[in-house]
Structure 1
Amino acid sequence: MAAVDISPAAAVYRRAQYAPTTTAVIYEGREISSARLGRTVAALAAGLAEHGLRRGDRIAYLGFNSLAFFETLLAAAHLGAVFVPVNFRLAADEVRHILTDCGAHTLVVEEGHRELAESILTELPTRRHVLIDTDPACPAATAPAAVWTPQSELLVRGGTPREPVPAHDDDLAVLMYTSGTTGRPKGVTLTHGNLWWNATNVDSVVDTRPYDVNLAVAPLFHIGGLNALTLRALLRGGTVVLRRGFDPAQCLEDLVHHRVNSLFAVPAMFAALARVPGFADADLSALRAPIVAGAPVPPQLIRDYAAQGILLQQAWGLTETSPFATYLPAALTEEKTGSAGAPMPYTEICLTHPGTGAKIHEAETRGEICVRGPNVTPGYWNNPEATGAAFDDAGWFHTGDIAHRDKDGFYYIVDRLKDMIISGGENVYPAEVERVLIEHPDVVEAAVIGVPDPKWGETVLAVLTCEPGTTLTVEEVRDFTGRHLARYKLPTRVVLVEHLPRNASGKLAKVQLRRLVEAEVEVEQNSGTA
């Protein structure tokens, strides 16, 4: 039997052929038909080929969510090249590391990021540099240096488009660099099979339909923003309402106006959406598949949405799992609040003892969650040491997340293994404390870190943002959390801040959080209040 072609470029061209007038993308108010998208991708692929991009070469994209992002990804797939989306919030040194590590052949940037790119061009392996000049939502290009080729030039000078390169399960599709909250980010290799099997998993258990309207507001350089729902909706015949970034009020307007059916967002985004004036009265009856993942989900957030008749569906996974490994069906949202769900249909899950690696079969016993299946990355780019450390001999990917499984087989994520606090010999998982803190009526956001303690080794420090006009003392926090947690898990110190630092994926940035805490403590000490 011949291998099946699962190229996303081929899917776009099929759609353009059989349903040319359907709306593929609504981007910042502009409607792009399937036929137009197919023509642009074919022309861009031809232009990139003319400039030397070949199968297996890496092509990087630096910019916000945009139509050009999709066009570049699909043109890369057409040529069999590897797409490398770059976090647009990174500093020059971090971007240099990624582009050097992946050996990028071509770099595509928006005008707003050109200056950063130019500051490091002489240190990069890139041979071609493309500047987006076809997008009115991007900053206008201002006399770029000769090193840049305008995208418009590629679209008209590429010659006759060739047939797209077939893509099979093991062919590399995307190099997606981890968020790098600690250390240098690693390049996660995602094959076309990884992306395709995640879509198959989602279609098997989530109420998604071929002609759905999907709202894309999470960063597309993040696996959740790109492959949780968005890419699949586009390839399957649906419409993607694409925004360059997340604005809560605009998001609510889009959900109502476009009758959106599916949305992926991290908890902080759903929380911000719920605070928009008019949210309680908005008609969100079309929203069948609102999926929340990417960070610990406060149970109160689930309950707040359920009270509005919206069943947030929690999922769990990582970049390495493309992204979903577990999912909680809408029907169980309230019964299993707090659970990340059961294994996806074509994905295996197990728990292992962090010290011995032995499998844990008992319910309600914590262990490291491990994943195996066709949606799991084959490893890290040019990093056999990291790949070897992540996979065991049986092919299980060790995620570094701690979880437990209830008697019905549903998983509850506790925390990251590396974030665990050891206080007086007892294990304290920050996410467990954070889930309790967020239940306090005056708390908007909560984060927990371990700080050195001469007696206990480490103790718990809580960083909180509060409702306007309110404050909390450590005594008040301990009194509240003490009703739900063992004494050794209670915060011994509270720091109040205006905002918690998060990376572009919406995850808590622990390195920045520690710096923020250090700065706050120094201010307190200098003022004599510590």
Structure 2
Amino acid sequence: MAAVDISPAAALHRRAQLPTASALVYEGREISAAQLSRTAAEFAAGLAEHGLRRGDRIAYLGFNSVTVFETLIAAAHLGAIFVPVNFRLAADEVHHILTDSGAHTVVVEAGHRELVESIMGDIPARRHILVDTDPQCPAAAARAAVWSPLSELLGPDRPARERAALYDDDLAVLMYTSGTTGRPKGVMLTHGNLWWNAVNVDSVVDTRADDVNLAVAPLFHIGGLNALTLRTLLRGGTVVLRRGFDPAQCLDDLVHHRVTGLFAVPAMYAALARVPGFAEADLSALRSAIVAGAPVPPQLIKDYGECGILLQQAWGLTETAPFATYLPAGLTREKAGSAGAPMPYTEICLADPVTGARIRETDVRGEICVRGPNVASGYWDNPDATRAAFDDAGWFHTGDIAYRDKDGLYYIVDRLKDMIISGGENVYPAEVERVLVEYPGVLEAAVIGVPDPKWGETVLAVLTCEPGTAPTLEDVRGFAGRHLARYKLPTTVLIAEQLPRNASGKLAKVELRRWVEQQAASAL
């Protein structure tokens, strides 16, 4: 059997031949599939003239925009690899991603130009493209000669480039996710990974060719990009695209555009429910409201259920592109809190986190492992991390602890790696600790997540310091903010005489949490 070309550039081109609805509605402006396909093809030709070749990496730094899709499709046109960069990151973090990926080209919105210029001498990128084609972006001020305006790469005058055929194993995206070592790792997602997630979603979610998807989650996240958005765009539906999430605007869009599908993290759904008029709004078109990215409070499910909306819980990671499990809408109330059953073309198993033995009994906790065509092939230029996470049988060990009930549904109950999820953003303690110990006078730093009514969790730091040098919360945030994104910054700082450790000298976080709870109780 011959291999099938699953390039998103080819899929968009096929869609453009049909009289379908607008492909994108971006901040009120309608864009057809033909327009998007044509612009992406022109962009690909311009990038090729600038030396971008098959297998090269092209990074994008900016908010949600049409240019994200133009860059992704242009990259696919050439067989290049798309690298979306979290726009919340600090310069040090962006520097690591651009260096680690070896990005040949960076596409940057004007609002992030100064950040990139501050690291430009230390990154390998040979081409720097400044977005000047989007009226929603900040106006580009006088620019240095090193920048090429995006508009100069567009236009029909260049020779058309033949689209690269792309198959299951061809790399599509490097999506960076923080690691327990404190440095983000590039998850290697192939075109097959992205395509099979769409097959999984369309097999169990009530999706249709003429869907209207509201994209308000950041597109640098796999959930924002590939939960519903990319499949809607390529299949024939309409993506209503916003540069960011505004709860009141989101509610207006859901009603005005008769949105059928929405992916968001719990904190976003909670904020949406607090908008005046939410309970009375006509959301009858919304049949696929998917929530993932963080634990879902049962009260949130109840609140939406009272408004006639069944939140559909899913679970996955960047490495699973994104979904590995899904809870059908009909089980939302009965199985509240469950991450659901394995996706149709994805395998799930539980393993003893110590011995690695397979757990077949119900209601026994183990590390949840995933295998299937939607699972990433490993980590970019990081064989050690790949070997640590992917075993010889092809199972990806997620680091999450779960159990399976008698009906075969999974419940995520803990995190093996102490990851903090704040507003849907992953925060790894080691990454924050690595920065905090650089503060003058700080001897040791330990970071844990603590409950927060708005964000789900926020960062609490416990420090040991040299005598007379204990910093304030404002001091710590000001220092760490030069190196870390704001959502990673501590919201509470406690000073301790020493950190609890076990017999082998490792930090005992169970004891640390107990000490933090004691401090909170004594402060009442």
Category of TM-score, reference length = shorter chain: 0.7 to 0.9
Structure 1 residue 510: Cα displacement: 9.1
* Counterpart mapping for 1:114-125 below 5 A: 114-125=113-124
**Matched residue, 1:100:** 99
Secondary structure in 1 matching 2:154 = helix
Whole-angstrom distance in 1 between the partners of 2:493 and 2:366: 30
Report the counterpart of residue 130 of structure 2 in structure 1: 131
Contact 1:314 1:328 (8 Å CA) reproduced:
yes
CA contact (8 A) 1:293 1:314 kept: yes
Q: Quote the Cα distance in structure 2 between the aligned partners of 1:298 and 1:268.
A: 10
Please list, as runs of the form range in 1=range in 2, the aligned pairs for 1:58-457 lying within 5 A after superposition: 58-156=57-155, 159-179=158-178, 183-419=182-418
- Following superposition, the deviation at residue 181 of structure 1 comes to 7.8
Alpha-carbon distance in 1 for matches of 2:179, 2:141: 32
Q: Call closer, same or farther: CA 1:519–1:209 in 2, change over 3 Å.
A: farther
* Aligned residue type for 1:5: D
Question: Which deviations, in whole Å up to 9, do the C-alpha atoms of 1:163-210 show, x marking residues without a partner?
Answer: 210110000000000045861100000000000000000000000000
Q: Within 1, Cα distance between the matches of 2:73 and 2:216?
A: 19
Q: Name the Cα RMSD after superposition.
A: 2.8
- State the 4+ residue runs in structure 1 displaced beyond 2 angstroms: 179-182, 460-467, 508-513, 515-522
Letter in 1 for 2:276: P
For residues 18 and 285 of structure 2, the distance between their equivalents in structure 1, rounded to whole angstroms, comes to: 26
Any idea what SS the aligned residue of 2:489 has? helix
Counterpart Cα distance in 2 of 1:226 and 1:461: 27
The count of aligned residue pairs is: 455
- Give the structure 2 partner of residue 518 of structure 1: 494
Name the residue aligned to 1:13: 13
Cα gap change, 1:326 to 1:118, in 2 (>3 Å): same
Distance in 1, Cα, partners of 2:47 & 2:449 = 52
Deviation at 1:351, TM superposition (A): 0.3
Distance 1:294 1:461, change over 3 A: closer
Q: In 2, Cα distance between the equivalents of 1:74 and 1:207? A: 26
For the residue of structure 2 that corresponds to 1:419, the secondary structure is: coil
- 1:379 is paired with a residue whose SS is coil
**Equivalent residue of 2:83, what SS?**
strand
Change in Cα spacing, 1:179 to 1:216, as seen in structure 2 (3 Å) is: farther
Please tell me whether residue 36 in structure 1 is matched to residue 35 in structure 2. yes
Change (3 A) 1:71 1:519: farther
- Deviation of 1:518 after TM superposition, in Å, equals 2.6
Relative to the length of structure 1, the TM-score reads 0.81
Structure 2 distance, partners of 1:158, 1:48, is: 14
Q: Which residue of 1 aligns with 2:3?
A: 3
Distance 1:386 1:63, change over 3 A: same
> Does the 8 Å contact 1:366/1:404 carry over to 2?
yes
SS at match of 1:204: helix
Would the alpha carbon gap of residues 280 and 104 (structure 1) be closer, same or farther in structure 2, given more than 3 Å must change? same
% identity of equivalent residues: 75
Is this contact kept in 1: 2:267–2:454, CA < 8 A?
no
CA distance in 1, matches of 2:494, 2:255: 43
Instruction: Supply the distance in 2 between the matched residues of 1:361 and 1:529 (Cα, whole angstroms).
Output: 45
User: Where do 1:454-465 residues align within 5 Å?
Assistant: 462-465=450-453
Cα shift at 1:511: 5.7
Alpha-carbon contact 2:196-2:374 (below 8 Å) kept: yes
Aligned residues of 1:182 and 1:511 also touching (Cα < 8 A): no
Secondary structure of the equivalent of 2:175? strand
Task: Kindly state the Cα deviation for residue 393 of structure 1 after the two structures are TM-superposed.
Answer: 1.9
**Secondary structure of the structure 1 residue equivalent to 2:279:** helix
Equivalents in 1 of 2:450, 2:148: separation in Å?
50
User: Relative to 1, partners in 2 of residues 1:463 and 1:287: Cα closer, same or farther, differing over 3 Å?
Assistant: closer
For 1:66, the aligned partner's letter is S
Whole-Å Cα distance in 1 between the matches of residues 157 and 109 of structure 2?
20
Q: Determine helix, strand or coil for the equivalent of 1:23.
A: coil
Q: Please state whether the residue corresponding to 2:23 is helix, strand or coil.
A: strand
Distance 1:322 1:266 in 2: 16
Secondary structure of 2:231 counterpart: helix
Contact 1:106–1:127 (CA under 8 A) maintained in structure 2:
yes
Native 8 Å contact 1:48 1:158 kept in 2: no
Deviation at 1:516, TM superposition (A): 2.2
Q: Is the Cα–Cα contact under 8 Å of residues 24 and 239 in structure 1 kept in the other structure? A: yes
Q: With CA pairs under 8 Å and 6+ residues apart, which has the higher RCO, 1 or 2?
A: 2
- Structure 1 residues 364-409: Cα deviation after superposition (integer angstroms, max 9, x where no partner): 1100000000000010000000000001121110000000100000
Distance 1:237 1:143 in 2: 40
Instruction: List per-residue Cα deviations over 1:22-78 (Å, max 9, x = no partner).
Output: 300000010001111111111111111111100000000000000000000000000
Displacement, 1:156? Answer: 2.4
The one-letter amino acid paired with 1:319 is T
State the one-letter code of the partner of 1:70.
F
Structure 1 pair 36/181, CA: closer, same or farther in 2 (3 Å)?
A: farther
Residues 182 and 387 of structure 1: is their aligned pair in 2 closer, same or farther, counting only changes over 3 Å?
closer
Render the CA deviation track for 1:407-436: whole Å, top value 9, x for unaligned.
00000001211229xxxxxxxxx99xx9xx
* Structure 1 Cα separation of the partners of residues 157 and 59 of structure 2: 19
1:181/1:511 contact within 8 Å kept: no
- d(CA) in 1 for partners of 2:143 and 2:186? 30
Residues 81 and 172, structure 2, Cα contact 8 Å, conserved in 1? yes
- Which amino acid counterpart does residue 7 of structure 1 have in structure 2? S
If the length of structure 2 is used for normalisation, what is the TM-score? 0.82
Give yes or no for contact 2:7–2:165 (8 Å, CA) kept in 1.
Answer: yes
CA change 1:129–1:289 in 2 (3 A) is: same
- Secondary structure at the aligned position of 2:492 is classed as helix
1:267-305 C-alpha deviation (Å, 9 max, x unpaired): 000000000000000000000101000111111111111
- Partner SS state of residue 145, structure 1: coil
Separation in structure 2 between the aligned mates of residue 463 and residue 133 of structure 1, nearest angstrom: 42
1:79 aligned partner, one-letter code: L
Secondary structure at the aligned position of 1:119 is classed as helix
5+ residue gaps in structure 1?
A: 421-429, 435-446, 450-457, 468-507
Aligned pair in 2 of structure 1 residues 63, 181: CA closer, same or farther (>3 Å)? farther
Structure 2 residue identity aligned to 1:13: H
Helix, strand or coil for the counterpart of 1:126?
coil
Counterparts of 1:529 and 1:335, CA distance in 2 = 39
Cα distance in structure 2, aligned partners of 1:203 and 1:509:
36
> What secondary structure sits across from 1:94 in the alignment?
helix
Alignment partners' CA distance in 2, 1:220 and 1:179: 17
CA distance in 2, matches of 1:461, 1:229: 29
Amino acid at match of 2:8: P
Q: SS of the residue aligned with 2:232?
A: helix
Tell me if the contact between 1:173 and 1:190 (Cα under 8 Å) persists in the aligned partners: yes
